[in-house]
Structure formats: C-alpha cells, structure tokens
C-alpha cells in the first residue's frame, strides 16, 4: 500500500529529489487500487452470546461472505482495531477496493470462525468522532 491509498498524500510534492519520488508521483497520477477506510462493528456478539473484539489481521468480506480483493490482488483485512468509547462502537481500519470504500457500505469481518457485521463509517481521513472539530471550538 502507498501514501495515496492511505489518504496521506500532500497537496504539493517538493521540487528536490528524494528516494521514492518517481514512484510517489506515479501513485498520485493513478487511481488508487485500495482506500484506507474506517469501519465500525455493528454487532460483536458471537453466536454463543460472547462479546468478541477484533484485534487486527482478520479478513474483511462482503455481506455474502465473499473475500474482497483490490485490482492488484491484495485481499482486504483489518489492519488495526480498537475501542471507540466516544462513539460507542469498536473501530476497525482496513484497505478496501474503491467500489466498496463507500460510506454506509455493509460488510462482514471473519473472526474466530464467525462473521460479524461492519459498516464503512469513513472512506477518507475524516475522523469518526467530531468530523467538523466543533467540540474543540466550543
């Protein structure tokens, strides 16, 4: 994955040469093969009634259970996970193919042999909590 797919590309590239500049410029001109997205877990209760919290590395699937792959053949998986007490949900990060990197897209995550429903909450670098930064301004 590259900085463009991660949503961390700067608006301007410096004039000086640097290691990786040619690759970076090429990535900026191409459509990203994947987009780093924030997912929220809709229900993390297992079939036996136990609350399960993903840790990272779990595959991200369609609602039907099909694996997601970008145009480079890379499968989508949870890159990081953690509690989101301010929004009351468990939050996951994953690189998704552009056609699935849509806010509101319903997907699943395979964890401990069960599929758990997740929703794409953010498909760019916008924060899930207080996206307009209004809380700080009050």
**Spatial distance between the Cα atoms of 37 and 117, rounded to a whole number of angstroms:** 15
Q: What is the model's pLDDT at position 5?
A: 75
What does the pLDDT average to over 111-120?
Answer: 97
Report the chain's mean pLDDT, rounded to a whole number: 90
Give backbone dihedrals phi and psi of 135, rounded to 5 degrees, phi first. Answer: -60, -40
Strand order from edge to edge, sheet including 106-111: 60-62, 106-111, 114-122, 35-41, 89-96, 78-84
Domain that holds residue 122: 33-126
Q: What is the pLDDT of residues 51-70, one digit of tens each?
A: 999 999 999 999 999 999 99
| pLDDT of 3 strictly over 90 | no
**What are the structure tokens assigned to 103, written together?**
């806010």
**What are the structure tokens assigned to 69, written together?**
């792959």
Contact assessment for residue 57 and residue 51, using Cβ atoms and an 8 Å cutoff: no
- The share of the chain scoring above pLDDT 90, in percent, equals 64
β-bridge partners, 84: 89
Q: Is residue 41 part of a domain?
A: yes
Q: Is residue 77 part of a domain?
A: yes
Q: What is the model's pLDDT at position 63?
A: 96
Q: Is residue 26 part of a domain?
A: no
Q: Could you give the number of structural domains in the chain? A: 1
Q: What is the model's pLDDT at position 35?
A: 93
CATH of the domain at 90: 2.40.30.110
Cβ contacts of 111-114, under 8 Å, gap ≥ 24:
111/52, 111/54, 111/58, 112/46, 112/52, 114/46, 114/47, 114/52
């Amino acid at each position: 994955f590259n900085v463009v797919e991660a949503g961390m590309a700067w608006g301007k590239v410096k004039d000086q040469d640097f290691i990786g500049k040619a690759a970076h410029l090429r990535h900026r001109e191409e459509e990203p093969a994947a987009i780093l997205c924030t997912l929220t877990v809709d229900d993390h209760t297992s079939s036996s009634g136990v609350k399960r919290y993903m840790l990272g590395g779990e595959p991200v699937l369609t609602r039907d259970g099909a694996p997601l792959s970008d145009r480079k053949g890379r499968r989508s998986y949870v890159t990081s996970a953690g509690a989101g007490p301010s929004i009351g949900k468990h939050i996951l990060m994953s690189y998704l193919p552009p056609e699935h990197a849509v806010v509101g897209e319903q997907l699943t995550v395979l964890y401990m042999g069960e599929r758990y429903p997740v929703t794409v909450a953010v498909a760019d670098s916008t924060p899930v909590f207080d996206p307009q930064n209004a809380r700080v301004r009050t």
